Amino acid sequence: MRNLIAVSLSLFSLTMVGCGTPAPEPTPAPAQQEQGLNTVGQGCSSDSACTTGLCWTESDSYPEYNPYWIRADQCTEECGGPGDTYCQQLAAEFNAPYPTQARCIPARGVYDNNPYDHSVYVCDLIPAGLGKIHWVE
């Protein structure tokens, strides 16, 4: 009987010690890693720099822009062609100063990962006040 009481007291004391100790807090999940990609309307140097995967430069759209006079770049998206209002909506979504000035223009060979000559339409957000312009001196 004595052994039974001693075992019972031992178990009771072990459970009490465990109850008095706070449980370790779970390790917080790591914060979501930022990829550092540029959003629509920000400057870029390659398609891989943009969240959209499309970096437009003025040389893609000659004669709309003459690369001898101006250098321009922006992360952008494709659009449907002249008269498409998607670019204006896109510019407004990204808080462009002049969203109604955005336009859909023809561009040539704008994808880094497509080695073949091809034509698409892209949103020109430079007139809307997005992207980067560098004047040629």
**Looking at residue 32, what is its pLDDT?**
47
* Sign, CA torsion 95/96/99/102: negative
Give CA–CA dist 116/2, Å, rounded. 91
Q: For the segment 74-123, what is each residue's pLDDT rounded down to a tens digit? A: 999 999 998 899 999 999 999 999 999 999 998 876 666 666 667 789 99
Q: For the segment 49-78, what is each residue's pLDDT rounded down to a tens digit? A: 999 999 988 877 877 887 788 888 999 999
**Looking at residue 66, what is its pLDDT?**
78
